[in-house]
Copies of this chain bind each other. A is one copy, B any other.
Amino acid sequence: MASHRTVTPAGPPAPTCALQELVDRFGGSCGGDLQRVVCGFAPLETATDLQLAFVTAARYRSVVAASGASAVLVTAKDAELLTSQAERLWVCKDPYLQFARIAQYFESLVATVARPGIDPTAVIGVDARIDGTATLGAHVVIGAQVLIAAGVRIGAGCQIGEGSHLGRDTVIHPRATIYPRCTLGERCIVHSGAVIGADGFGFAKDGAHWVKIPQVGGVLIGDDVEIGANTTIDRGALDDTVIGNGVKLDNQIQIGHNVRVGDDTIMAAFVGIAGSAMIGQRCMIGGAARIMGHVTIADDVVVSTQTFVSRSISKPGQYTGYYPMAEHAAFEKSAAVLRRLDGLRERVRRLETSTRNVATDIDSSPVPTNEPERPA
């Protein structure tokens, strides 16, 4: 497998924290001496006695005894099965969530102290209003009449188009682009290469040629939204494209014009939502799944990775469709049959008719019952 060549460059020295302080902050009950200090998390297998670890699945239970971790987040149920390790079990309701929250706390301790201010190489348009606590990196370009709220951090090389608004504490990583007249809420995170508000893809036909439909809507993004690297969200044609609160978008996603995405929906990399689709709240869209234009997806729908959603889904549940992998020769054989699948069905029909005739002739039962054909 891949060669491990060198060590990742060290970040700033990690601050340590006593277990007692962490238990006080985040709850649960931790065995052993709470005066021992830790500086972050590591996988069970590699954690040292300055690190925490966690158990989120039964298969990790067996690793706990061998782990060097100072303390291990577990559920009460797992704790019952690991009594020999009680001295370093930290029992809590949801170890993974507890891990997320404690890790965020450690991150806040190591975060470079933000020196608010505007890099001298940034270029600011007329009538832009930038809060004094905001940070603008090198070569940032801010359009006219942009509004930037308190605590916003904009990385090097970003462009924010005229009239756009960024809510409090939103972070734009280096080299993201926001077109004019887009709005992002509070505490959003936008990764490098993301493009928000480029023209939707709309053309009218004039003979053989395509005539561009100006895209005059905007993009409206809620609070607590994360947008991955190189993801694109198009502006609306007439109305806005709307992304709800708490939505999480992975890398290289494409959201078409006038799409609406409900609160707390999450999408993995390469997902594509075609124009005017409406996605419900709390949906989970697997990687490279694609949603056809103008369809509506209900709340709480799970779309499996790779699945193409060609029609509306009105009922919560999981929906799937991808071609199963096989060894190449086996694939070739199955694909050859698939290309003539209706022919195969026709042959089965004929067999059914023929068998029924034969059966009738010789008075033999039972006659096979047909699976009714339903139109697709």
Q: Does A78 contact B (CB under 8 A)?
A: no
What's the number of copies of this chain in the assembled complex? 3
Contact A334 B328 (CB under 8 A): no
Contact of A361 among B229, B243, B362 (CB under 8 A): B362
In chain A, positions 326-376 with a C-beta closer than 8 Å to chain B are: 326-328, 330-348, 350-355, 357-359, 361-362, 364, 366-371, 373-376
Contact A272 B256 (CB under 8 A): no
Closest 6 CB pairs of A and B: A8-B218, A336-B376, A321-B325, A333-B342, A100-B204, A2-B244
Instruction: Choose the segment among A20-28, A39-47, A60-68 that binds chain B (4+ C-beta atoms closer than 8 Å).
Output: A39-47
Contacts of A40 in B (CB 8 A): 216
- What residues on B are CB-neighbors of A302 within 8 Å? 328
Residues 224-246 of A, flagged 1 when their CB comes within 8 A of B and 0 if not, give 10101110101000111011111
Is the beta-carbon distance between B198 and A212 smaller than 8 angstroms?
A: no
The 8 Å CB contact of A157, one of B46, B157, B262, is B157
Cα distance, A123 to B156, chains bound together (Å): 10
* Contact in complex: A317, B325 (CB < 8 Å): no
Q: Does A170 contact B (CB under 8 A)?
A: no
A32: interface (CB < 8 Å): no
Let me know if B97 and A6 touch, CB within 8 A: no
A151 interfacial by beta-carbon distance below 8 Å = no
Given contacts A193-B193, A256-B269, A351-B368, 12 further A-B contacts (CB under 8 A): A3-B222, A5-B185, A9-B218, A97-B205, A100-B213, A232-B251, A319-B325, A321-B326, A330-B342, A333-B341, A334-B338, A351-B355
Closest B residue, CB atoms, query A368: B350
Instruction: Knowing A183-B9, A351-B348 are in contact, say whether A193-B340 is a contact too (CB < 8 A).
Output: no
Taking a contact as CB atoms closer than 8 A, the residue among B94, B238, B270, B332 that contacts A272 in the complex is B270
A198 engages B191 (CB within 8 Å): yes
Q: 1/0 per residue A303-314: CB within 8 Å of B?
A: 011111111000
CB within 8 Å of B: which of A18-57? 40-43, 46
Closest to A120 in B: B123
- Contacts A8-B218, A198-B251, A345-B337 known; A41 to B266 CB distance under 8 Å? no
**A318 within 8 Å of B by Cβ?**
yes
Q: Answer whether residue A159 sits at the interface, using C-beta atoms and an 8 A cutoff.
A: yes
Give the chain B neighbours of A333 by CB distance below 8 A. 341-342
Query: Counting CB contacts under 8 A, is A214 at the interface?
Result: yes
Given contacts A157-B157, A192-B179, contact A209 B323 (CB under 8 A): no
In the bound assembly, the distance between CA atoms of A99 and B269 in angstroms comes to 35
- Give CA–CA (A346, B344) in the complex, Å: 10
Q: How far is the CA of A339 from the CA of B254 in the complex (A)?
A: 28
- Counting CB contacts under 8 A, is A70 at the interface? no
Q: In the complex, which of the residues A243, A304, A330, A368 has the most CB atoms of chain B within 10 Å of its own CB atom? A: A368
